Every structure is written in structure tokens, then in C-alpha cells.
Amino acid sequence: MLKKSMFYLVLFSMFILSASLVVAEVDLSNIDLSSLEGATIPDFLEPLFGNENINIHVTLGSGKVLTMGVSISDATVQEIKTEALDDASLDVYVSEGVMEKLSQSTDPLSVLKNALDNDEIVYKANGLWNKFKFGVAGFFMKFASDDSGESNDIAIVDEILEEVEEAEEDTEDVVVEEEETENEEEVETESETEDEDVVTEEETESDDTTEETETEEANEVEVEEETEEETEEESSVTLIEIETTEFNPSELTINVGDTVQWINTRDDNTIKTAMILGNRECNYIRSSILQYGETFQWTFTEPMSCVITDAIITTAVLTITVEP
């Protein structure tokens, strides 16, 4: 079946070598990688995998980590090394046990899906475009959950490319808006500095008037704060923690008008960033790259079923049901 060979060859070509890897823990030079070099991928997958460098990190039972770098160019596996590639677009983290299951199974797709569901396989996209490509709507889960043949594979590829294009356009808009905001803030800061440096006699004479104005403004601020507090009481804010490989909680039911706030709690030595991506009915939700401790929030203003994924660790999925 085409889908099996696609996963076997392109995504996890190292699984074919799993038996050799177990023996090769002592001597990596014994691994014969030449059998995979020159292999090609299906034409319809070329837009996604035609030119990729993939690092595969395998944790052995002893705790030792073996790394292989797979270089794909012009839809052909050009080279496989027993070391990491510096410019990898994707890093895959997997255990020796999962590799053995994949190599021995007659239905590797089922093994793959279970491993993804149980976080036994974790993948990290590198670079913003790759994060969109491998992150939208749970990229690998789209393929692993479907077994209807090549025609539907082509439809999935088209869907992913369309979502990536939309995400890129949205990101460009966000970048432009952020640059404009930064420029406005710089202008405001310069104006404030100039105002502070110039002290006139008129300002001294108007001290009494200023004090009265400040008192009135303070009263207005108090009224505004009371109004904001009343508004906050009417709606609720739910905190979602972005953990190493998942959202906590991973399912949520809220009402229209409620706010969801995400906080990045990742302090892992390898993966520390996160990025919120909305899919399906809420595909307009996008955050910037979140560092450890940073937050992002969104207020839902209409009923919907929303699927949120993380562009960094794309196996992390959050389902939000917004009720009227």
C-alpha cells in the first residue's frame, strides 16, 4: 500500500534499519545505510518532502542516544549519516522499542498512530515555515489516521499546503502590524523625552490647574477599573498549561465570551518554545513564538468547535467546545 511505503521510506526510514541499530550500539560503522540512498518518494508528496533534512534521535534501552541524519533532495534520498545534520528541517525523537515494533509489524501505520497518540514519537519542526507545514492540524496524524488510499493522500497534501499558505499570509500581516506598533512606540517615546526636557514658566503657573485635572482623571480611572472588574466577573478565564508534549487540559468546554489563556511551562533542555495554531473553525488564531513563562490569550465570541495545535511539538492537540 502506498501510504505504508510513504511512511516507511520518507518519514521514518530509520525504522527499516532498527535491527541493525540494536547491534550497532557498539560499532556504528557496521550499519549499512547505502540500501536506502537513491530511494524516491511518490510524486504527490514532493511539495512536502521533496527537499528535507531530517534528524532521527533514537534512545536505546541502555539510555544511549543514536542520531541519524537523512538528506532528501529532488524527491530522492541522497545521503544517510550516523550524525545530526546542522540544517535539519525536522527532528524526530523515538525509542528503540518503538522502532522494533515498526520494523516487525505487518501494519506499521497502526503502530505509528499509537506511538503518536502515546507521545512515544515526538517531532520538532525547525524554522517558521516548517513549523507551519508540519504543525497545521496535526500534520502526521492526518496521514496516520487515514487509510483510504492514494487519492485521499493527494487531497490531504493539497489541504496542508493550502493551510500553510494561509498561515504564512496571516504571519506576514502580524509581522507588519508588530513593526508598525514598534515604530509608533518609538515615536511616542521620542516625543515624551522631548516634552520632559522642556520646562516652561507656563507649566509652573498651571500647577494648580494640573492638580485639579489629575484628580478628575483619577476619579475617571477608578470608575473605569470598577467597570472592568464587573466585566471580568461576567466572563471567565481558563488557564491552559503548555507542557513538554501536550496541553493540560487537552479538552475544554467554555461559553461564548469566555477567554482561554495559554502559558508555556516547558523548561526542557531540548524544547523550550511553543506556538499556538488554530485549525478548522478557528484557523485565524495564531500566536507568536512563546518562550518559557510567556502567555497568549484569546476570547471566543461565537459558538464553535476549535482544534488547537502547537507548531513546535505538533503532537500536542487541544479541543475546545464553545457553547452559546
Same domain, 141 and 248: no
Q: Is residue 223 part of a domain?
A: no
Same domain, 156 and 251: no
Position 257 scores a pLDDT of 92
Quote the cell numbers at residue 276. Answer: 499556538
Same domain, 270 and 136: no
Same domain, 92 and 6: yes
Q: Is residue 210 part of a domain?
A: no
Cα 235 to chain centroid distance, Å, stands at 28
Same domain, 158 and 283: no
Position 252 scores a pLDDT of 93
pTM: 0.46
Above 90 in pLDDT, residue 104? no
> What total of structural domains would you count in the chain?
2
Same domain, 246 and 130: no
Same domain, 11 and 160: yes
pLDDT tens digit sequence for 186-239: 655 555 555 555 444 555 455 555 566 565 665 565 555 554 554 444 568 999
- CATH assignment of the domain containing 296: 2.60.40.420
- CATH assignment of the domain containing 27: 3.30.1050.10
Enclosing H/E stretch for 141: helix 139-144
pLDDT tens digit sequence for 282-322: 988 989 888 888 999 999 999 999 999 988 887 888 999 99
Residue 250: domain span: 237-323
Above 80 in pLDDT, residue 148? no
Strands (E), the chain: 52-59, 65-73, 76-81, 90-95, 121-125, 237-242, 247-248, 251-255, 259-264, 276-280, 295-299, 304-310, 317-323
Q: Is residue 149 part of a domain?
A: yes
Same domain, 147 and 290: no
Q: Is residue 169 part of a domain?
A: no
Question: What distance, in Å, lies between the first and last C-alpha atoms of the chain?
Answer: 45
Q: What percent of the chain has pLDDT over 70?
A: 51
Which is higher by pLDDT, 141 or 248?
248
Which is higher by pLDDT, 122 or 275?
275
Q: Is residue 231 part of a domain?
A: no
Q: Is residue 203 part of a domain?
A: no
Q: Is residue 143 part of a domain?
A: yes
Quote the cell numbers at residue 258. Answer: 469566555
Q: Which of 164, 184, 212 is the last residue of a domain?
A: 164
- Residues with Cβ within 8 Å of residue 88, at least 6 apart in sequence: 53, 54, 55, 69, 126
pLDDT tens digit sequence for 50-96: 788 888 888 887 888 888 888 888 878 888 888 888 888 888 888 87
Q: Is residue 219 part of a domain?
A: no
Whether the bond into 303 is cis, omega within 30 of 0: no
**Mean model confidence pLDDT for the chain:** 69
